[in-house]
A and B are shown apart, each in its own frame.
Chain A
Amino acid sequence: AQSVTQLGSHVSVSEGALVLLRCNYSSSVPPYLFWYVQYPNQGLQLLLKYTTGATLVKGINGFEAEFKKSETSFHLTKPSAHMSDAAEYFCAVSDLNNNDMRFGAGTRLTVKP
């Protein structure tokens, strides 16, 4: 069965600094990979997704992620953090065999002024 590991339950960066949130997955078949963002007491919003094709995917709010099959990773980056990026971020994987989605435990991003 597929699974997701997010390294670091809490990441803190200064405003304007690089944001890097790490995600590694396991899947026996080509995965679909997703990053979601959640603000307090709200549902999850899709940031970006990888299904097939180009391995570098761009999402909303200036985020992007790169699918690296050899490293089984799908890390999320943003060149310059903004205060409004403070939220919880979830990586998720689905695969063809199961047709369900597995979420990581989440990474809480704090942005310091």
Chain B
Amino acid sequence: DGGITQSPKYLFRKEGQNVTLSCEQNLNHDAMYWYRQDPGQGLRLIYYSQIVNDFQKGDIAEGYSVSREKKESFPLTVTSAQKNPTAFYLCASSILAGGRYNEQFFGPGTRLTVL
């Protein structure tokens, strides 16, 4: 059964700690994305990757880091430098077809709360 999985679903962090959110896909998609969602602000792009071992910053990359060592995995680390990390984090993937990326498929999300 193909899809995108994110873990954990809920995550609690103390101030000053780094935490890593997992995102795995078995869709054989080329591109993967991380978004942050806050109430009333829609989705904001944190990082994206179109190929293994390469990734680009999105609009709000400060305080976050990623890696893409395998095509199916794109973990996101929220570092202590991120001043307001409490949010809902969504991972997505898409396939390259005809030189263009089509729709994005989303995981179920991880809700991060800083205590």
**B100 in the interface (beta carbon within 8 A):** yes
Which of B42-50, B63-71, B76-84 has 4 or more CB atoms under 8 Å from chain A?
B42-50
Q: Is the Cβ of A100 less than 8 Å from the Cβ of B48? A: yes
Assembled-state Cα–Cα distance A79/B112 (Å): 38
Among B4, B33, B88, B106, the most chain A Cβ lie within 10 Å of the Cβ of: B106
**A53 in the interface (beta carbon within 8 A):** no
CB within 8 A of A105: which of B4, B42, B50, B109?
B42
Q: Is the Cβ of B108 less than 8 Å from the Cβ of A43? A: yes
Given A42-B109, A43-B109, A100-B48: A90 and B42 interface contact (C-beta under 8 Å): yes
**A17 in the interface (beta carbon within 8 A):** no
Assembled-state Cα–Cα distance A41/B111 (Å): 8
Which residue on B lies nearest to A101, using beta carbons?
B104
**Contacts A32-B103, A36-B106, A43-B4 supplied; 8 other A-B pairs, CB < 8 Å:** A32-B100, A43-B6, A43-B106, A44-B90, A99-B50, A99-B100, A101-B104, A104-B42
Interface residue ranges, A against B (CB under 8 Å): 9, 32, 34, 36, 41-46, 49, 51, 90, 94, 96, 99-101, 103-106
